[in-house]
Amino acid sequence: MKWVYIEDLEKYPEKKVEIRGWVYNKRSSGKIRFLLIRDGTGILQCTMYSADKDSFLFQEFDRLTQESSLILRGVVKKEKRAPGGYEMSIEEMDIIQIAEEYPITPKEHGIPFLMENRHLWLRSQKQHAILKIRSELIKSIRDFFDNRGFRLMDTPILTPSACEGTTTLFETEYFDQKAYLSQSGQLYNEATAMAFGKVYCFGPTFRAEKSKTRKHLIEFWMVEPEIAFATLADIKELGEDLIIYIIERTLDNRQQELEILERDTGPLEAVKKPFPHITYEEAIQILNENNFKMEFGDDFGAPEEAKLAEIYKMPVCVTHFPAKIKAFYMQPADKRPDLVLGLDILASEGYGEIIGGGQRIHDPELLEKKIAEHKLPQQAYKWYVDLRKFGSVPHSGFGLGVERMLSWLCKVKHIRETIPFPRLLYRIYP
């Protein structure tokens, strides 16, 4: 008999099939027993009928505990009232294992307990829904870039030097020298962009930040496109297109999971291009008109980012930041050398920065000057300067944080729920 996944049941109408899964719930009602079975792809209502309450099948039913594993065979029929829309009439049941008493119950559990049992918590309906949306999100990002002719170019995790300062780096011994875990693939992307025109990298990145917020993970995934010959304006539009594409794909393909999460999709549906676009200096002015006390050179914190998004009720593009609060490689603005062509895109609904990027310096002398000013090791950046000596071109790119984007899509309160095994300050188990 054919082993079938619950999500594929519609292909087997009125057929006898085999389902393999775990007990999600059970209840009795007179001569009927109901089992809710989950197999990882869906939940199926299964029924047993018997005139004899001591029947073998009923005795087996009584033994079943939550998360017990079993194989069921029977005919599956459409049943509007059942969760998922199908129902199986059980003919045979093989119990693989009667589970020990399952620690996660419908009652409220504290977060430390759930985090300690993350390997089991993943099976819960809400976590399951978030991570299904995550896999769709990642696929949609890859499709977006692949369909536009970008080449995936994996950048290294083990690197000899830092992209954005050394205080938040994980260090390891690399044979006879030191290596650091990558915080961004950008510098390497700039090399591959000169070889392939338009590229993206997509991998884990690491920040050893000693801060505990609901928006930070120690280990998170980031996608970073980089385009030779592209300007700030080009990648601003690319970022808008990417965000809109992700939202559309999620709304199209993960409606059921959004419902489980009770996500009001209105604010997502409202996201349209072009996003409101302001400069950093305009943002400062707007914030001050709204009772913030910001001066030129101040960085935005969570309250400032939330306020800007609240005012526009849309994601907001902010550009032209003070050079002194941005990285050394950013291209200065024309006629305003104190500003750089950086780009931040702030999510709506208070989810803060989801895209950060900009146009990179393409003049070799200016880049060398900045490396010296920032007291970076010249030898380690030799190859990076080379990119400006052998056919330098203006180029731009950005990074989008997967878990930040997913937090917003799902409207979850804390980023720890957006990755299977979150790495947080002092949390590395399981």
Place of tokens 């620690």: 103
Closest C-alpha to 150, from 83, 187, 200: 200
For a second copy, the binding residues in 107-146 under the rule CB under 8 A are: 117-120, 122-123, 127-128, 131-132, 134-135, 138-139, 142, 146
Judged by beta carbon, residue 151 or residue 277, the one nearer a second copy is 151
CB of 238 to a second copy, least distance (A): 14
For a second copy, the binding residues in 48-107 under the rule CB under 8 A are: 67-69, 71, 96-97, 99-100, 102
Beta carbons of 304 and 285 less than 8 angstroms apart: no
* Residue 195: Cβ within 10 Å count: 11
For a second copy, the binding residues in 167-186 under the rule CB under 8 A are: 170-177, 179, 181
Place of tokens 């409202």: 270
For a second copy, the binding residues in 221-240 under the rule CB under 8 A are: 221, 228-229
CB of 124 to a second copy, least distance (A): 9
For a second copy, the binding residues in 348-387 under the rule CB under 8 A are: 380, 382-384, 386-387
CB of 304 to a second copy, least distance (A): 28
Please tell me whether residue 242 binds a second copy under the rule CB under 8 A.
Answer: no
CA angle 135, 411, 264 (to 5 degrees): 105
Judged by beta carbon, residue 55 or residue 423, the one nearer a second copy is 423
Binding mask 182-211 for a second copy (x = CB under 8 A): ------x--xxxxxxxx----xx-x-x-x-
Judged by beta carbon, residue 46 or residue 283, the one nearer a second copy is 46
Judged by beta carbon, residue 29 or residue 426, the one nearer a second copy is 426
Tokens of 353: 């920065």
Q: Which amino acid is at 95?
A: I
Phi, psi for residue 356 in degrees, rounded to 5: -135, 135
Judged by beta carbon, residue 206 or residue 300, the one nearer a second copy is 206
d(CA 305, CA 79) in angstroms, rounded, equals 47
Judged by beta carbon, residue 45 or residue 159, the one nearer a second copy is 159
Place of tokens 């804390």: 414
Judged by beta carbon, residue 374 or residue 382, the one nearer a second copy is 382
- Reported for 378-384, long-range contacts at CB under 8 A and 24+ positions apart, including other chains, are 380/160, 380/161, 381/161, 383/191, 384/187, 384/190, 384/191
| Region near a second copy per CB under 8 A, out of 49-57, 306-314, 332-340, 389-397 | 389-397
Sheet holding 177-181, edge to edge: 158-159, 177-181, 171-174
Closest C-alpha to 24, from 83, 80, 86: 83
Judged by beta carbon, residue 140 or residue 348, the one nearer a second copy is 140
For a second copy, the binding residues in 16-55 under the rule CB under 8 A are: 20-23, 39-41
CB of 337 to a second copy, least distance (A): 21
Place of tokens 């591959």: 192
Closest C-alpha to 329, from 291, 368, 386, 272: 368
CB of 280 to a second copy, least distance (A): 28
